[in-house]
Amino acid sequence: MNTQLAIVLGLLAAAIAMFAMNKPRMDAVALIMLTVLPFTGAITMGEALAGFSDSSIVLLGALFVIGEGLVRTGVAQKLGDWLIGTAGKSETRLTALLMAVVSTLGAFMSSTGVVAIFIPVALRISQSTGAAASRLMMPISMAALISGMLTLVATAPNLVVNSELIRSGSKGFGFFSFTPFGIPILILGILYMLFARRWLSAKKPAEAGDTRRASFVDWIEKYQLAGREFRVQMTQKSALVGKKLSELALREDSGINVIGIERKGRFATEVFSPTGKTELQAGDVLLVDVFGPKMDIAAACARNALEVLPLSGAYFSDRSQEIGMAEVMVAADSLLVGKTVLEAGFRRHFRLSVLGLRRGQNAIEKGHLTEPLRVGDTLLLIGPWKAIIQLQSDRADLVLLNLPVERSEVLPAPGKALPALAGLVLMVILMVTGLVPNVQAALIACLLLGAFRCIDLDSAYRSIHLKSLILIVGMLPFSIALQKTGGVELAADGLMAVTAGAGDYGILACLFGITAILGLFISNTATAVLMAPVALAIAGDLNASPYPFAMIVALAASTAFMTPISSPVNTLVVAPGNYSFSDFVRVGVPFSIVVLIVSVLLVPWLLPLHP
């Protein structure tokens, strides 16, 4: 061992130790090593910075943007809603579908992002079906990790390994090269979790006091709104067609408040909050709040040639994407004090309607629109989300107290799901056919998502996980330094010596085990950076194809089931699932062994060592 190699290995050991202690954070460690390695003389500063020009880094950044586009347009949310409707109350069907959906979506976007999306979905399912959250969170994290074994772009280690293949002079993997290995592992993972979930106790997440945010349902009960909501459609014969709301005086005369209108557009139905100047049209569906105690809605509809339509959610909660609610308080210096709601002109000045009024702990059930407002009164408002958010910057008259939990589920780019899916499908087609390089296909998809306003520049930049990119860039110089100083050959020779006489399967199993165990202490991306050159060196020593060895490293890097700190995916589900360290060991270790066995058997069969 030469001096340069000894210094590089010392720095590598120091990096692993800092990774294991998580002090400083991983991207900081990568930057430190990127800066220090050129001082060893093993690499130049240009080689240390080579990662910034690596196409896999740009590709990974583009994939973060595409994943954000799928979230902003509601593609991921609609999958979650479909899951809730399809699974019913069967925990077995729920677990299987949940894992299938998470892994499918994770094959095309960040697995960490997928888990973040499905945690609230799983919690909602848990509340509605009674299934224990602890038996849903672990399947989500396991499926997200398995998704990394389904496609080339599913996870960073795949791209790192593929980049190393290309750098060594071999042709890279295809988009679906991982799929024949990932699908059997996913099927086994689903079957395994249906059995292993019994090892996870049905415990509730730990809560620090009552910090749950209010929802539409809570406010419907609190302000006694149930039974006041109706959907009525304007027919061609209605005398109201062509009239403005201000002309009808429905609130003052009939106790009817039109809080929203569904109107068919050229391509889709638009839902908007009306003003006094809004002119009613035939075919309009009015979302009305009937607060008048003696109002007979059926008789009123018959008189005005209106058709009563069925409701699909309690007090229009199914319209939470377009229509929001908020609790506000009348400020001490408010100009609204002493005025009634009607006199204050909420619809005119704030583009919002008042649904309820509370004074202290008591709701004013009758006459809330004609009750003079006092300092400290709490109002429940309904209207467009944009108008509600504007209240945050205008505190002169009203103080925004509470936003419902539905606010966090409002899509930034509603109605753009089809363009987002079209961009994704085009990217996959371009990658599979090889018409353009993978990175160019991803960039084309990003530009299309931007052109169709599925994502804007600010959200695109925010979606790029720079910590992950810097980690890869900072660790790539180690790969170069170890190759130039003979460290890779030394590791390959050592592994060959350990597995002497074990045969090809023994070498693959040992390579898989070392990669998976190393991933317990450092990032699986950093593991792939270090182990991919070793795997290709072993293939060279055996005069074998590099593909099975590269694939075994990629699959092992995604086998991060064993501890809660093995992957950010696992860390995310610890709190909502109320898991302990031993839960991951108990469930993760046996399945990691299953994945090892399946991988070692499948890889040389589908990717022959000596073609």
User: At 265, which CATH number?
Assistant: 3.30.70.1450
Residues 310 and 339 in one domain: no
Between 209 and 494, where is the model more confident? Answer: 494
Question: Which residue range is the domain that position 252 belongs to?
Answer: 216-319
Q: Cα separation of 14 and 40, whole Å?
A: 15
For residue 7, tell me if it sits in a domain: yes
What residue has token string 């100047």? 277
Residues 230, 283: one domain? yes
Which tokens hold the place of 88?
């019913």
64 domain-assigned: no
Mean pLDDT of 312-317: 70
- Assign 3-state DSSP to the chain and report helix, strand, coil percentages, each to 5: 60, 10, 30
Domain boundary among 319, 337, 367: 319
315 and 334, same structural domain?
Answer: no
Point out the domain boundary residue: 319, 351, 371: 319
Most confident of 43-57, 257-271, 483-497: 43-57
- Is the CB of residue 306 less than 8 Å from the CB of residue 290? no
Conformational region of residue 548, where left means phi above 0, alpha means psi within -120 to 50, and beta covers everything else: alpha
Does any domain span residue 298?
A: yes
Residues 329 and 256 grouped into a single domain: no
- Residue 175 located in a structural domain: no
Q: Which pTM was predicted?
A: 0.73
Cβ–Cβ < 8 Å for 324, 388: yes
345 Cβ contact list (under 8 Å, min separation 6): none
Angle at 240 between CA 234 and CA 244, to 5 degrees: 110
User: Are both 305 and 335 inside the same structural domain?
Assistant: no
Domain assignment present for 499: yes
My answer on whether 278 and 254 are in the same domain is yes
pLDDT tens figures, 145-172: 999 999 998 888 899 899 999 988 899 9
Q: What totals of helices (H) and strands (E) does the chain contain, helices first?
A: 27, 10
Residue 255 in any domain: the answer is yes
Query: Are 515 and 599 found together in one domain?
Result: yes
Counted residue by residue, the chain has a size of 611
Q: Determine how β-strand 285-290 pairs with β-strand 229-234.
A: antiparallel
Instruction: Let me know: does 373 contact 344? Beta carbons within 8 Å.
Output: yes
CA distance 335 to 312: 38
Residue after which a domain boundary falls, among 348, 381, 409: 409
350 in a structural domain: yes
Report the alpha-carbon distance of residue 389 to residue 69 in Å, rounded.
23
Assess whether 522 and 585 both reside in one domain.
yes
Domain identity same for 379 and 271: no
Average pLDDT rounded to a whole number, residues 203-209: 48
pLDDT class of 559 with cuts at 50, 70, 90: very high
Is the same domain home to 508 and 582?
Answer: yes
Is residue 333 domain-shared with residue 405, that is, in the same domain?
yes
611 is a domain residue? no
Indicate whether 365 and 395 sit together in one domain.
yes
Give the C-alpha separation, 102 to 605, whole Å: 28
- Number of folded domains that form the chain: 3
Q: What pLDDT is recorded for position 128?
A: 67
pLDDT score, position 207: 46
